[in-house]
């Protein structure tokens, strides 16, 4: 039984090689927390490893892969049953500093529903994420990804969204806005939950002293085309569910331009069929998303102006092709003027 007010949930799918470092780092946390591994249908011996080397850890065995969203929901529901006040999520390919959880808890106040950390590369020299942003192009992106660590993100601040790979969630908030949307399976389900938190009046806070290290993409690399498929499926779902009506069409037309360009680039990489399947899967999910949208927007507790103010009004830094296309458009329109 988990006796502490915080619980850390680790979803695991075929992560036998990375799990020991992850779990060993959690064992050194400076504050007490329960540890729950959701064994998400692995076939690489992960279950045997956990049974043999980590008998004191709670393992919730799933016979099939429920994805990130479905897997962590199993762990969150268990933590809620045990009376936890907070639930942290940690990727199986991540490790944490000793005070990671302590700083995430310390950054919470009554208005904050989620706290997120400095997510660094394994060597600690570059950022993986310092929270996620959502743009008026309908495109989310991790703040600071790929940038060298030079102290530029050392200030605590409120931010739009948190990475599900290493963040802390208030149970009261989850009970109010709902858990992760399993239609996402993986990718952007964390931004979706943060968006719903923002709409529900909860803040998301970046706590720079909380530090974790991440081997980015170690799971997705195991499945060819996984990132392309999930991106094409989930980005429209994120927009349709959450963007308020007053700004919806302004965001939508920009997004469709970006989405079309993503598809063309996937085709150039030889993943056109995968992108098409992802787009079709997303189209089918959108019918359910419209019902969810009605519930989300009806429950909204903040103004549209507030949501507009916490969005980023520019393209993601890595959207080089879109930036080039936009620059050409601006030059063309200036000539005509």
> Tens digit of pLDDT for each residue in 81-129?
999 999 999 999 999 999 999 999 999 999 999 999 999 999 999 999 9
Share above pLDDT 90 across residues of the chain, in percent, rounded to a whole number: 88
Determine the 3-state secondary structure of 213 from DSSP: strand
Q: Give the rounded distance of the alpha carbon of 335 from its chain centre.
A: 42
H-state helical runs in 221-319: 226-242, 245-268, 272-298, 304-310
What is residue 287's predicted lDDT score, i.e. its pLDDT?
A: 86
User: Pick the residue with more confidence: 321 or 90?
Assistant: 90
Give the largest CA-CA distance in the chain: 72
Mean pLDDT score, 224-238: 95
Q: Do the Cβ atoms of 194 and 112 come closer than 8 Å?
A: no
pLDDT digits (tens, 9 = 90+) for 155-175: 999 999 999 999 999 999 999
Computed from CA positions of residues 219, 179, 90, 151, in that sequence, does the dihedral angle turn out positive or negative? positive
H-state helical runs in 9-159: 19-26, 46-53, 67-81, 100-106
Q: Give the rounded distance of the alpha carbon of 22 from its chain centre.
A: 18
CA angle 218, 220, 226 (to 5 degrees): 165
User: Confidence band (pLDDT; 50, 70, 90) for 327?
Assistant: confident
Distance CA 85, CA 6 (A): 6
The pTM (predicted TM-score) of the whole model is: 0.94
Listed in order, the ranges of the chain carrying CATH 3.90.550.60 are: 6-222
Distance CA 79, CA 7 (A): 6
pLDDT at 3 over 70: no
Q: Do the Cβ atoms of 211 and 128 come closer than 8 Å?
A: no
User: Confidence band (pLDDT; 50, 70, 90) for 270?
Assistant: very high
What is residue 2's predicted lDDT score, i.e. its pLDDT?
A: 43
Question: Token pair of 217, please?
Answer: 């993409």
**Beta-carbon count within 10 A of 318 CB:** 13
> Going by DSSP bridges, is the β-strand pair 86-90/166-170 parallel, antiparallel, or unpaired?
antiparallel
Residue 134 backbone phi and psi in degrees, to 5:
-130, 125
What is residue 222's predicted lDDT score, i.e. its pLDDT?
A: 65
CA-based nearest residue to 164, from 123, 219, 209, 111: 219
Q: Which stretch of DSSP H or E encloses residue 321? A: helix 320-336
pLDDT digits (tens, 9 = 90+) for 28-68: 999 999 999 999 999 999 999 999 999 999 999 999 999 99
**Beta-carbon count within 10 A of 14 CB:** 19
Q: Give the rounded distance of the alpha carbon of 154 from its chain centre.
A: 21
**Beta-carbon count within 10 A of 228 CB:** 22
What is residue 215's predicted lDDT score, i.e. its pLDDT?
A: 86
Distance CA 314, CA 317 (A): 9
Determine the 3-state secondary structure of 198 from DSSP: helix
Per CATH, the architecture of 6-222 is what? Alpha-Beta Complex (3.90)
Following CA atoms 184, 22, 87, 187 in sequence, which dihedral angle do they give, to the nearest 10 degrees? Answer: -10
């Amino acid at each position: 039984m988990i006796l502490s007010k915080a619980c850390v949930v680790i979803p695991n799918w075929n992560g036998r090689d990375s799990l020991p470092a992850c779990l060993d780092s959690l064992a050194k946390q400076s504050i007490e927390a329960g540890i729950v591994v959701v064994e998400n249908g692995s076939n690489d011996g992960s279950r045997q490893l956990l049974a043999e080397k980590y008998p004191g850890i709670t393992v919730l065995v799933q016979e099939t892969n429920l994805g990130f969203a479905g897997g962590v929901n199993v762990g969150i529901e268990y933590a809620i049953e045990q009376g936890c006040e907070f639930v942290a999520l940690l990727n199986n390919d991540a490790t944490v500093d000793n005070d990671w959880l302590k700083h995430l808890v310390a950054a919470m106040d009554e208005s904050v529903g989620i706290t997120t950390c400095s997510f660094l590369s394994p060597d600690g020299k570059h950022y993986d994420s310092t929270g996620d942003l959502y743009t008026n192009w309908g495109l989310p992106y991790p703040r600071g990804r790929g940038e060298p660590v030079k102290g530029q993100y050392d200030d605590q601040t409120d931010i739009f969204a948190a990475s599900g790979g290493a963040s802390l969630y208030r149970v009261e908030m989850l009970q109010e806005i709902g858990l992760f949307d399993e239609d996402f399976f993986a990718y952007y389900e964390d931004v979706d939950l943060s968006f719903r938190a923002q709409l529900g009046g909860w803040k998301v806070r970046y706590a720079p002293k909380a530090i974790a290290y991440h081997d980015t993409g170690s799971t997705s690399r195991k499945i060819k085309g996984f990132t392309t498929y999930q991106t094409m499926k989930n980005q429209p779902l994120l927009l349709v569910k959450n963007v308020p009506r007053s700004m919806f069409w302004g965001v939508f037309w920009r997004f469709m331009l970006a989405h079309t360009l993503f598809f063309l680039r996937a085709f150039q990489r030889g993943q056109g069929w995968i992108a098409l399947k992802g787009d079709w899967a997303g189209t089918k999910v959108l019918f359910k998303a419209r019902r969810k949208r009605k519930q989300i927007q009806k429950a909204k507790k903040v103004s549209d102006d507030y949501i507009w103010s916490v969005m980023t009004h520019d393209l993601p830094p890595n959207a080089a092709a879109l930036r080039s296309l936009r620059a050409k458009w601006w030059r063309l329109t200036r000539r005509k003027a």
